[in-house]
A and B are shown apart, each in its own frame.
Chain A
């Protein structure tokens, strides 16, 4: 199993050129990777209320909320460059976009603190408790 020896390098210098983009977590699987007219069909029709955003997406009512990245964390979109066909070779990804907040959307349910992605934002703090250095 030599595949365990290959690594995936992250080109950190690419952060400088990475664009800050709006990021949405959609409550449906879209079987596509590639361009889409997000601002025209989603952002433009989004209603912004005090605590939640609403939008009609493909006839479904979505309710959403903006979440900030946890303190000390940055959102990155990593993209593979020079994709090689082989399992064995080292690979390289670059930072193609960055974000400091994301919008997540629920189907019908108002966003609340038990939503998985909201809970996920607690992970860094728990991880710090589990992994931070202990005193002697």
Chain B
């Protein structure tokens, strides 16, 4: 194995392979272009990359699927960065909630344009332009109208009911797509169920809760668990709540990891540290996905026949 060879940092990368919702490139109505922007990630409180469509009508999430040791051939060119970025429509309410909670501490009804102010992330005020943002605020806030002006105050009760519906929607898709849930499966990964009816309703709920928690603060995530009447797991097997588990290949493009790099040298990968490449990749590997991944790193292992 050629693990001794050091990888050079990929500094000159200037192109990205993207799987984009068709609405991103809808040329029907572009008076302005869509743009990647940095907004405060509700789960981490740090910067993550999102996209706002033309006219800020739609918010998109940007998620990078990544496996170590991959590159692209695009036409007759090599692209070293083997990531596939997904740009999918995102519910702006997830990003608005932390601002509402913060301003709601004074228990006052406030106009939303005063709630969505953030010196660090000025683009956050653009979330109000998204279709459905204003129209769906009643899912997470109480509304008051005074002389045609609307005022809002965060409501935990409403938010919990709204999040529960989100969890239920997610459960339906997890079942329909035969996605494996349950103990040992990390919430943000998914592998297919080997045999049907292996899993119980609670496993699906927990899994969906984990996926939704990617968009919630730890506090809200715990409150939602309670609202779903799921006890917190205390068994030694599960040392972290599902929401805290992440699979590297599925991390959102986010601050700590990427945003400075995104600025200076694009999505450049960090140069390998002192571990060997093989150790590093093994350390990263999500065990539930080992079957397919391991074959990349140890070609002598016989591949399982399908």
Contacts and interface: CB of A to CB of B under 8 A. Distances in A.
Consensus secondary structure, chain A interface: mixed
B36 interface: yes
Interface string B106-129: 000000000000001111000000
Contacts of A53: none
A40 to B, nearest CB: 9
Interface residues of B, number: 94
Interface residues of A, number: 80
A45 interface: no
A78 B61 contact: no
B2 to A, nearest CB: 10
Given A28-B70, A38-B73, A108 B303 contact: yes
B306 A29 contact: no
B17 A77 contact: yes
Given A5-B122, A25-B84, A108-B295, A129 B14 contact: no
A133 B35 contact: no
A119 to B, nearest CB: 6
A24 B20 contact: no
Interface string B166-179: 10011011100101
B33 A39 contact: no
A49 interface: no
Contact of A13 (B27, B94, B165, B263): B27
Contacts of B192: 113-114, 119
Nearest to A120: B65
A32 to B, nearest CB: 5
Interface string B151-177: 000000000001001100110111001
Contacts of B91: 130-133
Interface string B201-230: 000000000011001000000000000000
A29 B170 contact: no
A69 B289 CA distance: 22
B57 interface: no
A79 to B, nearest CB: 4
A23 B20 CA distance: 15
Interface stretch (B5-13, B96-104, B142-150, B235-243): B5-13
Contact of B303 (A9, A93, A110): A110
Given A79-B15, A114-B191, A11 B33 contact: yes
A36 B162 contact: no
B122 A73 contact: no
B251 interface: no
Contacts of A19: 75
A108 B299 contact: yes
Interface string B238-264: 000000000001000000000110011
B70 A122 contact: no
Q: Which 6 A-B pairs have the closest CB atoms?
A: A21-B75, A127-B88, A8-B36, A24-B73, A87-B263, A131-B91
26 contacts: A4-B120, A12-B25, A12-B33, A22-B75, A23-B75, A25-B72, A28-B71, A29-B71, A31-B10, A38-B78, A69-B19, A74-B25, A76-B19, A76-B24, A80-B14, A106-B292, A107-B299, A113-B192, A114-B292, A116-B249, A123-B63, A126-B179, A127-B88, A131-B90, A131-B94, A132-B169
